[in-house]
């Protein structure tokens, strides 16, 4: 297996990361792969969005180039995982603030 190029932790840029997170399709894809630390097949996660294959590929590329995901290639299959540790080190608290699964695990705010 080989890993596709991605930015180093030190070169992660907040503006680029936030721009990648601004798209609802990309957030849906991230939510779909936010199920643990094991890589998820791109094709399996892509079933969660209603866009064509070329558009999904574009969204995966934007997420990878922003530094949000790591992509590995095994033959014709691609697997992705969120770079949770790298992102937490560079931008503490960002992922829990934007990913749906993180929000589900926190206690709801109470109105006083």
pTM of the model: 0.85
Q: What is the mean pLDDT of each run of 10 residues along the chain (112 residues)?
A: 93 96 95 88 92 95 97 95 96 89 43 42
In a domain, 55, yes or no: yes
Count of domains observed in the chain: 1
In a domain, 99, yes or no: no
In a domain, 95, yes or no: no
- Determine the structural domain holding residue 43 and report its residue range: 2-90
Residues 6+ apart with CB under 8 A from 44: 32
In a domain, 105, yes or no: no
CATH (domain of 82) = 1.10.10.10
**pLDDT value for 6:** 94
90 half-sphere exposure, CB direction, 13 A CA radius:
19
**Helix 53-66 vs helix 24-33: crossing angle, to nearest 10:** 80
């Amino acid at each position: 297996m080989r890993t596709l190029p991605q930015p180093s932790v030190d070169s992660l840029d907040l503006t680029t990361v936030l721009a990648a997170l601004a798209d609802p399709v990309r957030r849906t894809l991230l939510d779909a792969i936010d199920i643990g630390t094991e890589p998820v097949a791109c094709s399996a996660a892509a079933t969660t969005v209603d866009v064509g294959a070329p558009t999904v590929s574009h969204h995966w590329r934007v997420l990878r180039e922003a530094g949000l995901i790591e992509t590995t290639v095994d033959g014709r299959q691609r697997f992705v995982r969120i770079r949770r540790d790298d992102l937490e080190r560079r931008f503490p608290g960002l992922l829990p603030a934007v990913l749906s699964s993180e929000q589900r695990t926190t206690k709801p705010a109470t109105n006083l």
